[in-house]
Every structure is written in C-alpha cells, then in structure tokens.
Structure 1
Amino acid sequence: MNLLTGATGLVGAHLLAQLILNKEKIRALFRTENKKNQAISVILKYDITSQQIEDTVEWFQCDILDIPKLESAFESVTHVYHCAGFISNSPSDYKMMRKVNIEGTANVVNLSIDFPIQKFCHVSSIAALGKPNVGDEVTEETTIAEDQKKPSAYEISKYGAEMEVWRASQEGLSVVIVNPGIILGDGFYDSGSGTLLAKLKNGLKIYPPKITGFVGVYDVSKIMVQLMNSPVVNQRYILVSENLSFKEVGESFARLYNKSTPKTRLKPWMLYIAWFFEVLRSFFTSYKRQLTLEVIPSLFKDSFYSSDKIKKELQYTFETLEVYAHKIYKRS
C-alpha cells in the first residue's frame, strides 16, 4: 500500500493518476471535499474511470499536523510519497509555512521510521538548493552554504523540510528526494505555479528578464514512481526539463491560446513601487503582500539547473515545453 500526502495538489493529483495506471493501491490524504473533487477531475482526464479510482484509491481525510489521525493513516503502508506542502510568497505566511513544510514533514518521516516504511519519496524544490557561481549550473551537489542568505520564506521552509528527510535517512529510512523546477501542469490555477500558468493562459503581458528551470508535472510524477520502484536510495535528483526565460515560456503559451506575446520587460523600479504600495495596502487592509525587498533582486538573476543525474541513472528523456504545454492546452 502506498501512502500519498498532498494528494489534492498539483503534483499529488497527477502522481495519483500514474499510480492508478500502474494498478497500485493508494491511501490518498486530503483535507477538503472540494479539493478531493478537483483532484478527481484531473485524474479523469487520463482516461481513468471513476470505477478505477474507486477500486484503487482509499481516500483518507487528514492533516499532516494532526499526529494521532496521521498515525492511523500509516496502517498497512509500505511506501510513502510526501507531496504535501504550503506555498506562499507572503511574509505573513512565514510561520504557517514553517509549520506545514518543516513540522509536517517531521511528522511524516517520524511515523515512517516507526512503522517502518520501506521507502520514502519527498517532493522538494530547486528553491532548497544553493546558488552557484555566475555562469555555472546548479547540480545536486550545490548545497546551501552556511553563510549564504536564504531570503525567501519558502526557500527556508523547503530547506528545513529536506533536513528532516535527511535526518530520517540517518536513522535508517530509505529515502529519495526530487527537486523540481517551476512545475507546469493542468488542473490547479489558484496556488503555487498554477497562478503563473493562469497568467500564461490569459497572455503574459509583463515578464521578468530571468532564466530558470521549468518542468512538466507529467515528467515529475513519472520519475517519482520510477525512483520508488528502483533500488536507488538516499539520493536527490533535480527535475528540470529546460532552462528557459519567462519570455520564451510566455510566447509558447501565447501561441497556443491565441493571446498576445509578452511585450513589457519588468524593471526593478516597477517592483519596488509595487512593494511600497503592497506595504501600504497591508497596513490598512487584510491584504497579504507577496513581495519582499530581499526577493526582488532574485527575479533578475538567471539560474541554470542540470538534470544530467536523473537522465543518466534512469535513462530518462524529459518532455520539452512545446510538448507539455500542448498537453495543458488539450486538458484545459
């Protein structure tokens, strides 16, 4: 039996579809019926029937911060896919993000040690990796240095979550970690990278002059299943299909959805003005600001990521942006 946390998120829902296609039994954790139904709507687009879902998936309503309930979810489980997490750019969400991403991960790995679980797969992010010298590619060995600034609350929380997984590996749990780039896929447009995709579908008018790693959720879910069915343990893998500029990505989706291509290059002064007005707005309303002074410079620095390790070890070929963008278009 597989246990899947975060089954109603972008990665979780598409991973659930892959496991159903593999005819594997899954206990899928969810928090609300609305999110559960949203995930099911994504799964059905894989030409999976409602009966197949019913026969394969045991839905289990649970929060990873609720330890007694979470403990009961581990009964008869042999493999754990940990996809649950909290994504936000708002400074006001920092404490909750730490609680969900770090404490929640600690809860899941601690129970995985106790039961014991045969293998554990953790979905991290390229945000948890270090920053290389200018012109160098980030690899799995590019770890965060002690004196390196971690300006983003999200980066801190994902790095902390990874430390919990590595700690568990030292205590005997067999783990694999995946570090995807910006994940694009259909079905979720109101949080995380889904908000970017929603803007891309409507036509990205202003773009940051930045290159970074992108990947389709379809590759991420397939690789996770392959890693869990492989003898590989205690390794991490960067999952990036291509290093692309936001302008390139915007132009690809503009062609598919017949929208105007990105025309306005974002400038630092635009974001500093936006930050100022966000601060004012947050003082007088309940608005959650999304910008911080520390994060703004990162939107103008290119980052290049290497997926050579996963390509070599699994002999895996990633889909290009053109391919997975077309999949998103067909499923929209």
Structure 2
Amino acid sequence: MILVTGGTGLLGTYVVLKLAKENQNLKVLIRDENLKENILYIFKIYEPINYQELFNSIHWVKGDILDIYSLEPALEGVTKIYHIAGKISFQEKDKKELYKVNVEGTRNLVNLSIEKNINKFCYISSIATLDPEIDQNSEWNFKTYHSSYACSKFAAEMEVWRGSQEGLNVIIICPGVILGSGNWNRSSGMLFDMAISNKVYSTKGLTGFVDAEDVANIIVKLMESDVINEKYIVVSENASYKQVFSILRRHINQSEPIVISNFLIKSLALLTKVLPTQKKLSRSVVNALINTTTYSNQKIISKINYKFKSLEDSLLFHFNNFIKHKNL
C-alpha cells in the first residue's frame, strides 16, 4: 500500500495518476473533500476513456500532516510514502506557517515512518535549497541569504536525512519550476495567466523548469528501484523568463515580453517597502526574479537514462489546456 500526501496539488495529481495507472494499491491523504476535483481534472486530460475507473480506485484518507493522530490510521498497511504536501511562499510574513507545515509536518511523517517500519520514503524538496555550484552535492552555505521557504525546505530535508540515519530508506527530489495543468491559480498557472496580458514584462533572471509528468515518472521509477538515501535535481532545461514568455506569446501571436533591468526590480522593491501597499516585493522574490543560477540534471539522467520533454513542448501543451480552461 502506498500513501501520497499533497496528492491534490499540482505535482501530487500527476503522481497519483501515474500510480493509479500502474494499478497500485493507493491511499491519498486529504484535508478538503472538494480538492478531489483537482485529481479528476488531470485524470480526464490524460485518460479521457477510463478516468472514472482510475479515480474510483483511490482510497481517500481524511487527515493532516500536522495532526499526528490522523496520520496513525492513515499509515495502516502502508509500505511506501510519497511526501509531496508542503507550503510554498516567498513572503516573509508566512515564515511561521512555512516552518510549521514543511518542517513539523515532515518530522511527524518521518517519525511515524520509522515507528511503523515503512520500506521507503520519498520527500519532494526544491531547488531553492541548493547553493552554487548547483548540483545535488552542493553544500548549504549558512553565510548566504536564504528565503524562509528555502530554509524550511532545507530543515525538512534534515528531518528526512535524520530518518535515514535511524534506518528509514529515503529519496529526496529537488524539482525546478514545475509545469503542469490544473491548479491554474497557482504555480505555472500564474505564468500562463501573465502570458495572455496585453503587455508582459520579464526580468533577466532564469531558472530550471520541468514537466510535472516527468517528475512523477522519475520519482515513481526511483521508488520502485533499489536506490536509497540519494538526492536528485530534477529539471529539464534552464531557461530565462524571457524565453518562457516568448514561447507563450508567439503561440498566441502577441508581442515579445518587455525585459526590465535588475536595477528597476530592486528600485520597485524598495518602493513597495515605503508605500502603503499590500503587495510587497520581498528580498526573496527579488532574488528569484534576478537569479541566473543554472541547475544540473546529469545525476538523474546517468542513473535512469531518462529523456525529458522539451521545455517548449511542455509549455505549449499546458498553455493550450489553460486556454481551453479559460475559454479563450
């Protein structure tokens, strides 16, 4: 039996789909029954004929990673855990909640997994935890500024590694920006929403991108293998935000994005600090917008010889789903 946390989020829906298609005995931890629709939406896109059958094969378990009493029955009969649930925010006002969800929630699951002799535990971290030079062996630099989000994910990783020292077999995955369909008001959906504006402004920053289906395929393959106690970066390509918006804008015959300077971004951030506005450009957001770090996927490619979808194919596939969703 497999347990998936965060199964109704962007990546989680793809992992659940992959496992359901493999006829795995599957539990999904869920807090809100209404969020089941997120999974059904993805099932309809990828499996239009037998989506209902796959959806009905899921065992839904009411619970919360912060409520250890709800986790106890959720882990009954479970041998593998895909821990995808977590909070994403680059706003410093969310610092306490980030630590509570990402660190305490992970600690709860790790402790119970050790107690119940779970065979294998997969934790979904983030490239935000990586410092230059960027591969999965990069050391955390305590002298460098990190966002509260990055700190919370790093601390959660430490909980997972602590679990490995106590006998738990673990895998840690650090995906780049995940491109997928559904959850349109968050994650990559925000990129698509910006792309259909009359004018699009882009920064000079770049980052690593990856398709949600690729991430799901890779982590399931690793979890079904004999690989343990390893950490992998999972990105398809490194690209600038300008490149991304250019691909999307050309697809709908719109003008190229307007690139704004790093100086202007930093100036706007200072203005939001002094002006009475609720929308602040935090240091974390500014760093993300102007970051030019690239990420290496060579470790995962050499391990399982995986062929990623191209960035353009991934972008346009999900962008077309977004356009259909918006009835544009």
Give the TM-score normalised by structure 1.
0.91
Corresponding residue number in structure 1 for 2:276: 281
Deviation at 1:40, TM superposition (A): 1.6
1:1-150 superposed matches below 5 A: 1-47=1-47, 48-54=50-56, 56-132=57-133, 138-150=134-146
Q: Contact 2:209/2:239 (CA < 8 Å) preserved in 1?
A: yes
Percent of paired sites with the same residue: 38
Aligned to 1:135: none
Deviation at 1:39, TM superposition (A): 2.4
Structural RMSD (CA): 1.9
- Identify which of 280, 305, 311 aligns with 2:301: 311
> Deviation at 1:298?
4.9
Query: Partners of 1:319 and 1:216 in 2: how far apart?
Result: 7
Aligned-partner Cα distance in 2 for 1:193–1:75: 34
- Bigger mean CA deviation after superposition, 141-150 or 181-190: 141-150
Q: Is the 8 A contact 1:203 1:262 kept in 2?
A: no
**Aligned 8 A contact 1:184 1:197 in 2:** no
Query: Counterpart of 2:325?
Result: none
- The verdict on how the C-alpha distance between 1:203 and 1:182 changes in structure 2, with shifts beyond 3 A counting, is farther
Tell me whether 1:235 sits opposite 2:227 in the alignment: no
Secondary structure in structure 1 of the residue aligned to 2:81:
strand
Q: Tell me how many residue pairs correspond in the alignment.
A: 320
**Counterpart Cα distance in 1 of 2:70 and 2:228:** 28
1:244 pairs with 2:234? no
Change (3 A) 1:325 1:298: closer
Does 1:179 pair with 2:188?
no
For 2:141, give the aligned amino acid: A
- The alpha-carbon deviation at position 202 of structure 1 amounts to 4.3
Amino acid at match of 2:22: N
Q: Distance in 2 between matches of 1:204 and 1:162?
A: 39
SS in 2 for 1:80: strand
Q: Structure 1: 5+ residue runs without aligned partners?
A: 133-137
Which whole-Å deviations, capped at 9, do the CAs of 1:140-188 have from their partners, x for residues lacking one?
11121233332x1111111111111111011100000110111111101
Contact 1:64 1:70 in 2 (8 A): yes
Alpha-carbon distance between aligned partners in 1 of 2:115 and 2:129, rounded to the nearest angstrom: 26
CA deviation after TM superposition for structure 1 residue 195, in Å: 2.2
Q: Is the 8 A contact 2:204 2:259 kept in 1?
A: no
Q: Distance in 1 between matches of 2:94 and 2:316?
A: 34
Q: CA deviation at 1:4?
A: 0.2
Answer whether contact 1:204 1:262 (CA < 8 A) is retained: yes
CA distance in 1, matches of 2:198, 2:232: 32
Q: Relative to structure 1, is the Cα distance of residues 75 and 203 closer, same or farther in structure 2, using a 3 angstrom cutoff?
A: farther
The residue matched to 1:3 in structure 2 has which SS?
A: strand
Letter in 1 for 2:115: D
* Kept in 2: contact 1:213–1:240 (CA 8 A): yes
Normalising by structure 2, we get a TM-score of 0.92
Give the unaligned 5+ runs of structure 2. Answer: 323-328
Distance 1:279 1:35 in 2: 38
8 A Cα contact 1:91 1:290, kept in partner: no
Separation of aligned partners in 2, 1:248 and 1:203? 18
* Residue 7 of structure 1, CA deviation: 0.6
Matched, 1:211 2:206: yes
Which runs of structure 2 are paired with 1:146-225 in the superposition (5 Å)?
146-150=142-146, 152-202=147-197, 205-225=200-220
- Return the offset for 1:130: 1.4
Residue type matched to 1:309 in 2?
Answer: K
Paired residue secondary structure (2:232): strand
Q: Deviations over 1:78-135 (max 9, x none)?
A: 1100000001121111100110001011111111111111111111100011122xxx
